[in-house]
Amino acid sequence: MTPTRETFGNIPPSSQALFYLVAAVSLGVGAIGFWRRVRRWRQGQPIPPPALAAEALGNLLARWRPGLRRLWVEGLGQQRVRGRGLSSWAHGSLFIGFLVLLLGTTLLEVDHLAGMVSEKLHFHHGAYYVGYEFTLDVLGLVFLLGTALFFGRRLRRPASVGHRTTDWYVLGSFLTIGVTGYVVEALRITWQRPVGLGAWCSPVGWALASVFRGLSELQARHWHLAVWWLHALLVFGFLAAIPYTRLLHILTGPLNLLCAPPAVGFLAPVTTAEAEAAGRLGVRDLRHFTWQQLMSLDACMECGRCEEACPATATAKPLSPKRLVQDLRGLLDGLAPGGAGDPSSGNEERFNVHARIAAETLWSCTACSACGFVCPVRVDPLRLILDLRRNLVAEGGLRGTAAVVLRRLQASGNPWGLPPEARTDWMRGRNPPASVGQPTS
Ligand code: HEM
Ligand code: SF4
Ligand code: SF4
């Protein structure tokens, strides 16, 4: 007998119809949540549009190549997630398990739809079926292993990692989705009683089926339908929750990898005309950031890598790049169109970033770029800091020695407050080596 199984085997037509209805509702809830985030990003500054229409396809590809490469190497290849011990292994397992299970479920649905067109189009049988079932059975364990490792880490509550109550829901739903998936499979094996390869290709489900050996076929069918529903509802709950939990990074992470500028900590040049037209320099209000910078705030999953790399944090300065990104994200949460931050609400000051982030925090940054280089989703805290600092300087918010130096440079071009021609006096009699000031090879 050719090994196979019916896609909605034991699921009555009424349950199938309800299944698609609940699927549509959960995707709708997820889509609304995501759209609400997009509306916040859209309040950021547009990035100067490239002359896209005028560009030839080759130029377009050249423009997007770095982003596509990052998607491939750092998104799919998880390059920057690796190298952090157990948490990297946990994410690797979760990531690969999730992608394979997602692909498998999609293929199952494709087979189901193809079968509705013509029985001949079914491909879920024979060698393909055996390979499919075996792969998903094993990768389900990998997925569960990753989830369990993350559970263990959350129980230890390391200080560098952010903690939210919803994290328990995310990991709890992954764990129960994995376990109920295996129970559904075991109950299906119990009532279907496949033999030979058709049974052995699901080693975990087959082993678990021995627990249900005492059930009659009818009982197994009843339980199968009940646990199938529980499993489906858990999956739909997870889909709907994506934009409202840390899982948002599943969408915003790849998006930011695609759209982030190639250079870390890049301070965009501004002409006098541009500054006059905008009526400001740098960022004062949250909406002065570009939409990509606002989106990047939603990509941060509080992994703490930037904080661990930051020399300012390490030397107990009042700066943590992770905290800074999260504080800005807190402001972004309030930036709902029509909400308190909407210009029409007359409460614009609420989004004054300087009221939220202390100047001392911004000046604690050494501009070393380490945070941007380690971030797995290319959030760039340094660029956020530089834009905010630029505004502080432009609005006279600079204090102390740095302010005095800038004032003197503006007045006479000499940082010591002496006449311009005395600027190089300090070198007199010091005989600097001939190589000073020469370009290095
Ligand atoms: C571009 C793709 C992705 C990147 C770069 C990425 C990166 C990360 C990073 C760096 C963390 C923090 C882990 C740590 O602290 O070391 C994380 C957490 C997490 N990721 Fe992803 N991720 C991606 C896609 C996904 C996908 C597709 C899933 C689906 C299952 C996922 C599920 C999770 C979960 C559940 C956590 C939180 C675990 C916890 O409770 O701490 N990620 N991700
Ligand atoms: S650039 Fe600034 S915030 Fe980033 S790691 Fe260096 S000191 Fe820390
Ligand atoms: S900014 Fe990047 S490195 Fe820092 S906590 Fe967020 S995701 Fe992690």
Across 14-28, 158-172, 226-240, least confident range = 158-172
Cβ(379) to ligand 3 under 6 A?
A: yes
Predicted confidence (pLDDT) per residue in 364-416, tens digit? 999 999 999 999 999 999 999 999 999 998 888 777 788 888 889 888 889 98
**Radius of gyration of the chain, Cα coordinates, nearest whole angstrom:** 28
Look at residue 89 in the predicted model and tell me its pLDDT: 96
Tell me, yes or no, whether 344 and 230 share the same domain: no
What is the SS3 assignment for 6-67?
CCCCCCCHHHHHHHHHHHHHHHHHHHHHHHHHHHHHCCCECCCCCCCCCCCHHHHHHHHHHH
Q: Given pLDDT bands bounded at 50, 70 and 90, which one contains residue 339?
A: low
The verdict on residue 364 lying in a domain is: yes
What are the pLDDT digits (tens) for 88-102? 999 999 999 999 999
- From ligand 3's centre to the CA of 241, what distance in Å? 21
Q: Is the CB of 249 under 6 A from ligand 3?
A: no
Domain boundary at 223, 258, 293, which? 258
Give the number of the atom of ligand 3 that is nearest the alpha carbon of residue 249: 7
- For ligand 2, whether the C-beta of 366 sits within 6 Å is yes
Q: How would residue 441 be classed by pLDDT, with cut points 50, 70 and 90?
A: very low
Is any atom of ligand 2 closer than 6 Å to the C-beta of 310? yes
Whether residue 325 sits in one domain with residue 248: no
Segment among 66-80, 219-233, 331-345, 379-393 with least mean pLDDT: 331-345
Q: Are residues 21 and 79 in the same domain?
A: yes
CA of 157 to the centre of ligand 1 (A): 16
Give me the amino acid identity at 196.
G
Q: State which of 160, 267, 310 you would mutate to test the pocket of ligand 2, scoring each by most atoms of that ligand within 8 A of its C-beta.
A: 310
pLDDT in tens, 174-188: 999 999 999 999 999
Pocket test for ligand 2, best of 307, 319, 320, 368 (most atoms within 8 A of CB): 368
The answer on pLDDT for 22 being more than 80 is yes
Verify that 387 and 352 share a domain, yes or no.
Answer: yes
Counting from 1 in the atom list of ligand 2, the atom nearest the Cα of 366 is: 7
Is residue 276 included in any domain, yes or no?
A: yes
pLDDT level of residue 438 (50, 70, 90 thresholds): low
pLDDT tens string 136-154: 999 999 999 999 999 999 9
Q: How many domains does the chain have?
A: 2
Distance 27 CA to ligand 1 centre (A): 21
Atom 8 (ligand 2): residue with closest C-alpha?
Answer: 310
- The CATH number assigned to the domain holding 407 equals 1.10.1060
Does the pLDDT value for residue 202 go beyond 60? yes
Assigned domain for 286 exists: yes
> Do residue 213 and residue 270 come from a single domain?
no
The whole-number pLDDT of residue 434 equals: 66
Whether 346 shows a pLDDT value over 80: the answer reads no
- Angle, helices 381-394/291-299, rounded to nearest 10 degrees: 130
What pLDDT is recorded for position 402? Answer: 80
Split at pLDDT 50, 70, 90, the class of 110 is very high
Residue 337 has pLDDT above 70, yes or no: no
> What ligand is nearest to the CA atom of residue 325?
3
Q: Are residues 214 and 291 in the same domain?
A: no
Crossing angle of helices 249-259 and 57-70, in 10° steps, is 130
| Ligand 3: nearest atom to the Cα of 302 | 5
> 215 lies in which domain range?
13-258
Give the end of a domain, one of 212, 229, 258: 258
Q: Does residue 96 belong to any structural domain of this protein?
A: yes
- Residues 107, 214 within the same domain: yes
- For residues 251 and 316, membership in a common domain is answered with no
Q: Which amino acid is at 432?
A: P
- Residues 78, 193: one domain? yes
Overall average pLDDT of the 286-309 stretch = 96
| Domain assignment of residue 5, yes or no | no
Rounded CA-CA distance 293/305 in Å is: 19
Q: Whose CA is nearest to atom 3 of ligand 3?
A: 375
Residue 431 located in a structural domain? no
Query: Does 279 share its domain with 400?
Result: yes
Ligand 1 nearest atom to the CA of residue 88, by list position: 16
Same-domain pairing of 212 and 270: no
In the predicted structure, residue 325 carries a pLDDT above the cut 70? yes
Domain boundary among 202, 232, 258: 258
CA angle in degrees (0–180, nearest 5) for 316-331-48 = 100
pLDDT, mean over the chain: 90
Distance CA 10, CA 219 (A): 12
Residue 254 CB–ligand 2 contact under 6 Å: no
Same-domain check for residues 100 and 248: yes
CATH number at residue 252: 1.20.950.20
